[in-house]
Amino acid sequence: MNPLTLEWIEKADGDYLTARREIRVRTKPNFDAVCFHAQQTIEKYLKAFLQENNALVPRTHSLAELLALIVKIDPSFLMIQTDLIPIEGYAVQFSYPGISAEKNEARQAVLAAERVRTFVRNKLGLNP
């Protein structure tokens, strides 16, 4: 496997573990951070797939943009589109005052990250 692909995976798994840890916090959980790290998990796994397929890895947080590039390589990625849509903007949405993530949003974001992580890892021939 391409060394840069492995680096993307390591970074994605760091975000994944952070989101999973924070969602379990009982005192003052940071649901904004959970949503951010779940989105980052997905973004970095999509970038890992692009990297492994020798495709351009754009500097973007847009999951839709990344998916559009990936489906040209593997159309089966459309199966995960429904997981991407709700958390498309989580990389920046909860970073500004005036809007905060709720517990349910955070839970759904972690579940989406888990599903996408498993899907991409299978595509890359890695254990889920």
Range of 61's domain? 3-123
What is the DSSP-derived secondary structure letter of residue 75? G
Q: Is residue 36 part of a domain?
A: yes
Specify the DSSP class assigned to residue 55.
-
Phi, psi of 124 (to 5 degrees): -90, 0
**DSSP letter for each residue of 77-111:** GGGGHHHHGGGTTTTTGGGSTT----HHHHHHHHH
Count: domains in the chain = 1
Tens digit of pLDDT for each residue in 3-59?
Answer: 999 999 999 999 999 999 999 999 999 999 999 999 999 999 999 999 999 999 999
Asked whether residue 46 is domain-assigned, the answer is yes
The verdict on residue 56 lying in a domain is yes
Is residue 128 one of the residues assigned to a domain? no
Please give the pLDDT value at position 21.
98
Does a structural domain hold residue 35? Answer: yes
SS3 50: helix
Specify if 70 maps to a domain: yes
- Helices 103-123 and 31-52: crossing angle in degrees, nearest 10, is 20
Whether residue 80 is predicted with pLDDT greater than 90 in this model: the reply is yes
User: Does the global pTM surpass 0.95?
Assistant: yes
- What is the residue-averaged pLDDT of the chain? 97
Residue 65 has pLDDT above 90, yes or no: yes
Residue 20 lies in a domain: yes
CATH of the domain at 76: 1.20.120.330
Considering only CA atoms, give the Rg of the chain. Answer: 14
Q: Is residue 52 part of a domain?
A: yes
Say what the pLDDT of residue 128 is.
Answer: 80
